[in-house]
Chains A and B, each alone.
Chain A
């Protein structure tokens, strides 16, 4: 499959267009991944119903049995549990970092270890999250998987 990128001046919204003769396995896999990546998360913010692309979410967190999705400018209360979010959007680069938080790997700037062997996750907006030791192995394995997938 070929991938052609074209820059268009004055385009209001970026779009992807797929040209195909038959939907083969490779195309099917790509469509499935794009479906997840381009899907939106829905919830409420300041009593308004909002819908934002999952790629814009920095991390999801459960506080007092409520799940919140955090973007650069919003905190969206969702009706889904963290496990459902992971099932639905795992292809979007979401990784569990503690019992109550899931991070979007594409929004991580870098990691730092502390003397207590906890991993501090620095997000691109400057926020910090703490990853427990118990989730480190799973996190690293998932990171490897994402790297392999993005190389394909």
Chain B
């Protein structure tokens, strides 16, 4: 089943964008920080919502391939888009000296955490399925 398709792509981007912006505003409010590049950062959030949703949408089509190359490919795609985005932003408006590193870190951390959670859930599901199979086999043997 496709979780992200043409019909729900825009709505998923909108929801992700809203949540990211709300999170950004809450953190800024809590930290008492004023964002001087407010407009630019809002559009950055939108750009990344589109890129990450597009990369996740590819997941369905890549299910028959081994996961590790898929994850590496997806990460390289996102990292490449990030580098291109920061370079373009630097040409248009100028960015701080460590903008590239910060942006790559912002992409890498959620990616690694998501992959870890994905693995954890997968092996937990296998454990649960084995318990069910053992139960089914036991019941069959008893009869």
Contact = CB atoms under 8 A, between A and B. Distances in A.
Contacts of B139: 150
Interface string A86-126: 00000000000000000001101111110111110000000
Contacts of A136: 125
A105 to B, nearest CB: 7
B11 interface: no
Interface stretch (A41-49, A74-82, A141-149): A141-149
A111 B64 CA distance: 18
A139 B132 CA distance: 12
Interface string B124-140: 01101110111111011
Interface residues of B, number: 25
A132 interface: yes
A116 B130 contact: no
B74 to A, nearest CB: 13
B63 A147 contact: no
B123 interface: yes
Summarize B's interface: helix, strand, loop or mixed: helix
A133 interface: yes
A116 B72 CA distance: 12
Interface size class of A (residues with CB under 8 A): 20 to 34
A133 B133 contact: no
Contacts of A146: 132, 136
A110 B123 contact: no
Contacts of A34: none
A116 B125 contact: no
Contacts of A133: 63, 67
Nearest to A138: B1
6 contacts: A106-B137, A115-B68, A140-B125, A143-B129, A146-B136, A147-B136
Given A110-B130, A116-B66, A117-B67, 9 more contacts: A105-B136, A111-B126, A111-B133, A113-B122, A133-B67, A134-B63, A136-B125, A144-B132, A146-B136
